[in-house]
């Protein structure tokens, strides 16, 4: 079986509303890598057009990815037999390709998959042994207010104790009515509400929005204003009206010194970490370390990866003591996803095997 890199267009079951418009499909490049035992290691290089910093178009991405893999390939066998993260050649590759987070993400999964000899268990833990589960938020996708209301009620009925709603895309006063309805039916102890503005508001608007959210005891707001307004974001965080989480703000911030400068300049309450956008797992681990040193909270979330990438993100997260609900799903959005070893019940994600629901 030869090594095989191919484009896989993930097709949404229904149009997915995002801050970057309506998505009907999403590209990921899949690599199947043959193993001596006859199995295959498998990885994913995922992008979100318009958001991923390493993607301009299919032709550019595939050309750069091919060059990246050509550089990495001679060292794969060596890295798969050792603690590759400390390897000098691996570190040099990270620095050279630091502007391509999805490449680093995919390479790390590939090495883990080679080490696992093709098993879906990449990083053994209590989670993959079926001994623990991970709480997650129920994501309400952008849509009409009626559709968002239906989604939110369905999530709560399914046992989610944390729901996350996108705001700022529709009329804010109408969105606020929906949030008020959810809070009227459940106290903050019974239901945690998170919102994500994707940078929709101006700094002046954001102050008013934050006050309304505080009245509803909303847990946090992601990216209330657009990235790149550090002084204004600091002012909003400093007022501590509602805890603020940075998301898009982290994209393209790659060096340790840049990360420290951003965290210390803005001083957010939380950061949201997406390995395929924020430097792979190596980059995310550094973000976590720097955030914890500064008493900044964090959680992980997937970024529309297929089941291949999501599997790795969840297992990586399971290696930490997770005190907050994470932003994981099972990839159930797509009609043509790959098989998954993950399942969700009562707002918790668990490893799908015979003993995992004991």
Catalytic residues: 166, 274
333-338 contacts, C-beta under 8 A, 24 or more apart: 333/12, 333/13, 333/16, 333/304, 334/10, 334/11, 334/12, 334/13, 334/306, 335/11, 335/12, 335/13, 336/8, 336/10, 336/11, 337/10, 337/306, 337/307, 338/306, 338/307, 338/308
The one-character DSSP state at 200 is B
- With beta carbons less than 8 A apart as the criterion, state whether 30 and 10 touch: no
| Helical (H) or strand (E) element with 25 | strand 21-34
- With beta carbons less than 8 A apart as the criterion, state whether 54 and 63 touch: no
Instruction: Quote the CA–CA distance of 8 and 26 in Å, as a whole number.
Output: 8
- With beta carbons less than 8 A apart as the criterion, state whether 213 and 242 touch: yes
Who contacts 63 (Cβ-Cβ below 8 Å, separation ≥6)?
none
Instruction: Quote the CA–CA distance of 252 and 246 in Å, as a whole number.
Output: 13
User: Residue 300 forms beta bridges with which residues?
Assistant: 273
202-205 contacts, C-beta under 8 A, 24 or more apart: 203/229, 203/232, 203/235, 203/236, 205/172
Q: What are the distances in angstroms from CA 76 to CA 35, 72, 354?
A: 12, 7, 33
- With beta carbons less than 8 A apart as the criterion, state whether 262 and 286 touch: no
Handedness of CA 158, 163, 167, 173 (dihedral sign): positive
The one-character DSSP state at 326 is B
Which is nearest to 333 in space by CA: 19, 24, 27, 4?
24
In total, the chain counts a number of residues equal to 358
């Amino acid at each position: 079986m030869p090594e095989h890199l191919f484009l896989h267009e993930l097709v949404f079951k229904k149009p997915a509303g995002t801050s970057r418009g309506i998505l009907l499909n999403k590209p990921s490049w899949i690599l199947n890598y043959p193993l001596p035992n006859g199995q295959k290691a498998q990885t994913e290089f995922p992008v979100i057009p318009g958001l991923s910093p390493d993607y301009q178009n299919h032709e550019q991405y595939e050309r750069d990815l091919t060059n990246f893999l050509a550089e990495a390939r001679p060292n794969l066998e060596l890295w798969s037999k050792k603690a590759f993260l400390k390897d000098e050649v691996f570190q040099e590759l990270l620095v050279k390709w630091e502007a391509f987070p999805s490449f680093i993400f995919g390479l790390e999964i590939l090495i883990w998959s080679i080490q696992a000899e093709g098993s879906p268990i990449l990083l053994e833990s209590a989670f993959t042994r079926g001994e623990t589960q991970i709480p997650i938020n129920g994501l309400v996708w952008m849509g009409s207010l009626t559709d968002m209301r239906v989604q939110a009620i369905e999530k709560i009925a399914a046992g989610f104790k944390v729901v996350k709603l996108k705001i700022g895309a529709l009329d804010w006063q109408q969105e606020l009515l929906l949030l008020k309805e959810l809070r009227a039916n459940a106290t903050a102890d019974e239901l945690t509400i998170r919102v994500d503005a994707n940078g929709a508001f101006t700094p002046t608007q954001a102050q008013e929005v934050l006050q309304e959210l505080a009245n509803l005891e909303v847990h946090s707001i992601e990216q209330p204003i657009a990235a790149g307004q550090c002084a204004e974001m600091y002012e909003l965080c400093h007022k501590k009206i509602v805890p603020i989480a940075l998301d898009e703000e982290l994209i393209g911030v790659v060096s340790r010194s840049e990360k420290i400068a951003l965290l210390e300049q803005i001083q957010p309450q939380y950061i949201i970490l997406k390995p395929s956008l924020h430097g792979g797992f190596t980059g995310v681990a550094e973000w976590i370390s720097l955030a914890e040193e500064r008493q900044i909270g964090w959680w992980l979330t997937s970024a529309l990866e297929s089941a291949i990438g999501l599997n790795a993100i969840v297992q990586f997260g399971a290696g930490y003591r997770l005190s907050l609900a994470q932003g994981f799903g099972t990839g159930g959005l797509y009609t043509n996803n790959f098989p998954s070893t993950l399942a969700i019940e009562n707002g918790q994600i668990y490893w799908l095997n015979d003993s995992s629901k004991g």
